[in-house]
Amino acid sequence: MQTCLVCNDEITNPICINCLEQELIYWFVDYDPKLVSRIRVLKRAFDMYEDTEANCIKCGNNINVCSHCFLTEVMNLIKDENLKSLFKKSFISF
Rounded to a whole number of angstroms, the minimum distance from the CB of residue 18 to Zn ion is 5
20 binds Zn ion (CB under 5 A): no
Q: Which of 2, 6, 32, 36 lies at the binding interface for Zn ion (CB under 5 A)?
A: 6
Query: Which one, of 37, 46, 38, lies nearest residue 18 by Cα?
Result: 46
4 binds Zn ion (CB under 5 A): yes
Cα-based distances in Å from 12 to 54, 56, 74: 10, 11, 19
Rounded to a whole number of angstroms, the minimum distance from the CB of residue 64 to Zn ion is 10
Residues 27 to 86: which contact Zn ion by CB under 5 A? 56, 58-59, 66, 69
Q: Which residues contact 61 (CB under 8 A, 6 or more apart)?
A: 16, 18, 55
